[in-house]
Amino acid sequence: MKFNPQKSTFGRHETFPLRYGWLTKAIQAVNKPGLTDIFKQPEAAMIELGLGKNMVNALQYWLQVTGVVDFNDGVANITEFGHVLLGDNGDTYLEDETTIWIIHWRIASNPELATGFFWFFNHFSMPRFKSSDVLHSLVDFVGQELKSRSESTLKSDVSTLLRMYSPTAGRNDEHLDSPMSSLGLLSSDVSGGYLSQRTVRPFLPPMALHFALQSRFSEQSQQAALPINILLYGGDGYPAPGAVFRLNEEGLMGALTNVMETYPNCYELRETAGLHQLYRRSPLLKETDLLTAYYQGRSA
């Protein structure tokens, strides 16, 4: 999705990061007969989901950001993507790291519903920082690109993002943490700040990058090639896989090689007139078809 200054969202998570089990719990609840309108019934939702009122609101937000559930006049409908990702034939309990990387991509590539998260992963480039550095940079970005937002709202986005992606020291109950913290994209620094460095990530699942690349190509379906520089740093308003997955140039090239070896005949690297580009060699695939094939192959 391309960044549109006219469409932005901050703070709707009510300071609650996405937590383990939340998406699964919601999908299972909405699947029950007569519960598609559960989010229109606060008391019933709190009982069914075992969450407080503000957490229920936050969960409804994360369901929309990740795209696993759509809401029409408050009625929940599990999307095709939601069924494939978290249904019986998918990865219901987020046991496959690939699923978590794909959820991360869906959040960080959604400038309309998760503007602060999109901005952080696609625009904020300091490898070592404090929360105040992030807030000041976000305030500057909003001031230049968007209608003004209250600093307290922006601060809640920064605080939630840092807690969501940074593992909590000394916490043993994984269900209180966010699955995003397992990706290693953000860590606490001994000085009290944070680290989020572009690096080589040899364990990045090929399907995660393949999924992101298909998403990028589908945004500009008439284009058969995308410059490596755009995939690495962005600059065209679209999310950049290299930035979202915190890859440096070596890391992106290595990850692309893994994708091309795992999914042959899909992509090709070429250099034309001094411009290094990734070419799409095969027709675009639907996200759900990609995931269906992946999860079927995993269980075979």
Let me know if residue 91 belongs to a domain. no
Structural domains counted in the chain = 1
Q: Is the pLDDT of residue 171 over 80?
A: no
- Identity at 47, one-letter amino acid code: I
Look at residue 200 in the predicted model and tell me its pLDDT.
98
Q: Is the pLDDT of residue 29 over 90?
A: yes
Look at residue 168 in the predicted model and tell me its pLDDT.
67
Let me know if residue 77 belongs to a domain. no
Let me know if residue 242 belongs to a domain. yes
Let me know if residue 72 belongs to a domain. no
> Could you give the residue ranges of the DSSP H alpha helices within 50-146?
53-66, 80-86, 97-108, 115-123, 131-145
Residue 2: pLDDT band with limits 50, 70, 90:
very high
Look at residue 176 in the predicted model and tell me its pLDDT.
56
Look at residue 170 in the predicted model and tell me its pLDDT.
46
Which H or E run includes 34? none
pTM recorded for the entire structure: 0.95
Let me know if residue 169 belongs to a domain. no
Q: Is the pLDDT of residue 66 over 80?
A: yes
Look at residue 189 in the predicted model and tell me its pLDDT.
87
Q: How far is CA 124 from CA 2, 119, 140, 157, 258, in A?
A: 17, 7, 11, 14, 27
Let me know if residue 255 belongs to a domain. yes
Let me know if residue 238 belongs to a domain. yes
What CATH number should be reported for the domain holding residue 218? 1.10.10
Let me know if residue 224 belongs to a domain. yes
- Identity at 148, one-letter amino acid code: S
User: Which one-letter DSSP state was computed for residue 273?
Assistant: T
Q: Is the pLDDT of residue 169 over 60?
A: no
pLDDT for 94-129, tens place per residue? Answer: 999 999 999 999 999 999 999 999 999 999 999 999
Q: Is the pLDDT of residue 5 over 80?
A: yes
Look at residue 221 in the predicted model and tell me its pLDDT.
78
Residue 34: CB partners within 8 Å, gap ≥ 6?
A: none
Q: Is the pLDDT of residue 299 over 90?
A: no
Residue span of the structural domain in which 251 resides: 206-299
Look at residue 36 in the predicted model and tell me its pLDDT.
84
Look at residue 238 in the predicted model and tell me its pLDDT.
96
Question: Rounded to a whole number, what is the distance in angstroms from the first to the last CA of the chain?
Answer: 33
